[in-house]
Amino acid sequence: MSPQSVRNLVILGATGSIGVSTLDVVARHPERFAVFALSAHRQIGRLFEQCLQFAPQFAVVAAQDDARDLQQRLREAGSRTEVLAGEAALADVASDERADVVMAAIVGAAGLLPTLAAARAGKRVLLANKEALVLGGALFMDAVRAGGGSLLPIDSEHNAVFQALPADYARCPDSAGVRRIVLTASGGPFREWPLEALAGVTPEQACAHPNWVMGRKISVDSATMMNKGLEVIEAHWLFGALVDRIDVVVHPQSVIHSMVEYVDGSVVAQLGNPDMRTPIAHALGFPERIEAGVTSLDLCQVARLSFEEPDFSRFPCLALAYDALREGGAAPAVLNAANEEAVAAFLAGRLGFTQIAAVIAATLERANGLSVESAQAILDTDRSARTLARESIRQRETQ
Ligand code: NAD
Ligand code: MG
């Protein structure tokens, strides 16, 4: 490979679970990728280590104080990385003309603006931050088209669907003959718990996912199955699929990462060990295949693949997400904001596990007149919905 083809990579959310897995893949291919910028919210120690190992031109953190400390530590260690602070700096590095590929791996709505900036600037955007698409799907997909770059899904289900679709799907989706998209779901740690035990679930229990090691917010989302709900909305925007053509099937082994069914009855699936380095390497190398460090799938060891219908009474969050997508408009953004607030309150020990869905439902009921027409409208909607959700959480705290 010629030196010109080295691609400059920005990782938004480098210190998180997806960020660390991305750097693991990147370290295997120094001839292909140079790290241009890394970002972290508060994990300054980890970001420091990453800067020493990958020597990015820029490191971005949230607070000025942290930036000053990190800059000093890096200088003392002989590093030439320049440290920036704040949201605008995130958008700046994500849209810098020297950057080619942007991994969007910030968790939650905080990832929206820098990811949007990368899309507008025509970057290859590798999207892990599903909340950005749930909040502002139409705006985001328009930005990708207007920017002329590309969008590759990192979420394992959507990456699987992308791999199972024909290569020219984005150009002519109608002639592809897709009947439906089937997203697989592990069902999380509480799939078989007695329903009456769910009210007492602790954050530690909710974060102990049977198959995947992930950040705390997405782990709770997996336990409530809101994660699958957000993924239904994500699939709608990524693949232009109507809500009634996106199904969810519970598949506890997490070996089939998702499927596409065609009109002739063919069902094409992508399989592999549950390791996020596979979709990350797929998107980093696309259209080439590159080594990810993932072990071969041993089907005889897996032995059995099983499937069941999702239980909407056990997982009301999944039903709320389908309803929000059917309602359209600002409903998915309200759903996302209320979920982020409710999950944060649950993780802080202020809200019961089964109250998460109740807070989201109450917020959806009370929110009206909100819009997602522009980036500013989305941010306003997000803020209003969070205010409503916090009120609902406070009421439940005092009960
Ligand atoms: P994580 O909590 O492990 O990491 C989040 C990253 O975002 C960290 O680097 C953190 O510093 C940064 N961050 C957090 N809040 C921020 C803020 N307000 N401003 C700027 N940066 C902030 O999360 P994760 O598990 O790596 O997930 C990241 C995203 O990828 C989420 O949207 C998640 O839904 C999605 N995703 C994750 C997985 C997985 O296996 N972990 C799988 C599919 C999709
Ligand atoms: Mg997923």
CATH code of residue 130 = 3.40.50.720
- Burial class for 358, CB neighbours closer than 10 Å (0-12, 13-18, 19+): middle
Residues 300 and 374 in one domain: no
208/308 same-domain check = yes
Residue 110 Cα, ligand 1 centroid: separation in angstroms?
10
Q: At which of 117, 136, 153 does a domain end? A: 153
Nearest atom in ligand 1 to the alpha carbon of residue 130 is: 32
How many Cα neighbours within 13 Å face the side chain of 36? 21
Task: Tell whether ligand 1 has an atom less than 6 A from the beta carbon of residue 128.
Answer: yes
Whether ligand 1 lies within 6 angstroms of the CB of 13 is answered as yes
Q: Which of 27, 21, 20, 11 is nearest to 99 (CA)?
A: 11
Same structural domain for residues 202 and 55? no
On whether residue 322 sits in a domain, the answer given is no
- Which segments are annotated as binding site for Mn(2+)? 155, 157, 231
Asked if residue 107 has its Cβ within 6 Å of ligand 1, the reply is: yes
Q: Point out the ligand 1 atom lying closest to the alpha carbon of residue 129.
A: 32
Out of 102, 132, 153, pick the residue that ends a domain: 153
| Ligand 1 neighbour 115 (Cβ under 6 A) | no
Residues 174 and 308 reside in one and the same domain = yes
Q: Which residues are annotated as a binding site for NADPH?
A: 15-18, 42, 129, 131, 215
- 54 and 147 belong to one structural domain: yes
Query: Is residue 195 a part of any domain in this protein?
Result: yes
Residues 89 and 168 in one domain: no
- Residue 323 maps to a domain: no
Residues 97 and 197 in one domain: no
- Among 130, 153, 176, which residue terminates a domain? 153
Global pTM?
0.97
The verdict on residue 221 lying in a domain is yes
Q: Which of 93, 211, 214 to mutate to test the pocket of ligand 1 (most atoms within 8 A of CB)?
A: 214
Sign of CA dihedral 246, 103, 23, 74: negative
Report if residue 324 sits inside a domain.
Answer: no
* Within-domain flag for 291: yes
Do 178 and 266 fall within a single domain?
Answer: yes
The conformational region for residue 148 under phi > 0 = left, psi -120 to 50 = alpha, else beta, is left
What is the Å distance from ligand 1's center to 106 Cα? 4
CA of 349 to the centre of ligand 2 (A): 25
Whether 321 maps to a domain, the answer reads no
ipTM of this complex > 0.95?
yes
Q: Is the CB of 86 within 6 Å of ligand 1?
A: no
Do residues 166 and 305 both lie within one domain? Answer: yes
Number of domains present in the structure of the chain = 3
Strands 124-127 and 101-104: parallel
94 torsion bin: left (phi>0), alpha (psi -120 to 50), beta (else):
alpha
**Nearest CA residue ID for atom 18, ligand 1:** 110
List the CATH number of the domain containing 371: 1.10.1740.10
Residues 134 and 177 in one domain: no
Mutating to test ligand 1, I would choose from 125, 218, 234, 343 the residue with most ligand atoms within 8 A of its C-beta, which is 218
Instruction: Please give the residue range of the domain that contains residue 300.
Output: 155-316
Co-location of 136 and 176 in the same domain: no
Instruction: Judge if the beta carbon of residue 41 lies within 6 A of ligand 1.
Output: yes
For residue 197, tell me if it sits in a domain. yes
What is the chain's pLDDT, residue by residue, as a tens digit (399 residues)? 454 489 999 999 999 999 999 999 999 999 999 999 999 999 999 999 999 999 999 999 999 999 999 999 999 999 999 999 999 999 999 999 999 999 999 999 999 999 999 999 999 999 999 999 999 999 999 999 999 999 999 999 999 999 999 998 988 888 899 999 999 999 999 999 999 999 999 999 999 988 888 999 999 999 999 999 999 999 999 999 999 999 999 999 999 999 999 999 999 999 999 999 999 999 999 999 999 999 999 999 999 999 999 999 999 999 999 999 999 999 999 999 999 999 999 999 999 999 999 999 999 999 999 999 999 999 999 999 999 999 999 999 855
90-116 burial, b at 16+ Cβ within 10 Å, e below that, comes to bbbbbbbeebbbbbbbbbbbbbbbbbb
182 and 147 in a single domain? The answer is no
